[in-house]
Amino acid sequence: KKNIIRNLAARDCYVQVFPSNSTFAQVKKWGPDGILLSNGPGDPAVMRDAVNVIKEFLNHNIPLFGICLGNQLLAEACGISTYKMHHGHRGINHPVKNLVTGKCEITSQNHGFAVNAEEVKKSDKVVVTHVNLNDDTIEGIRVKDKVAFSVQYHPEAAPGPHDASYLFDQFTESMSKVMQHA
């Protein structure tokens, strides 16, 4: 989505867009400071090639930020399954609790798959950061020993709620910290 690029560019990021079937070597050759795993259609459980590339990003400690499908793929890369929801989340005004800040965010959503909550709770790799207040589905995760996090909703939504635009700041700050320690 163009507004993802706008949000990153507004934070002085130089952005390169890669197709979903790009290999780790193709992306790594560009020398990114971070990777944004964007939204898109499809069942994340069958996207094994993308999941394997994300595992390589994690192994190389490249900062990751996932949105929507990117959230689901990050979960899959951490060994957490996803499932097709009976009714997906569509539209704006979905209340999501940020478990880190304790605040409720009003979000824009458009997805039919979700991350398996029981597997996240049992995971030693991932923690829940956001929960949907309507149905308790997982709305965000963070990988414990990596600079990697994701959300199920759309922080770039325009028009729509802007409660979650801080996530782009969080991502760019995490890239800066990693670059300073490199």
Instruction: Provide the annotated active-site residues.
Output: 68, 154, 156
Amino acid identity at 28: K
Residue 29: Cβ-neighbour burial (10 angstroms; 0-12, 13-18, 19+) = exposed
Sheet containing 82-98: order of strands: 35-37, 64-67, 148-151, 138-143, 126-132, 82-98, 104-115
155 DSSP 8-state letter: T
- Cβ-proximal residues to 159 (8 Å cutoff; 6+ apart), any chain: none
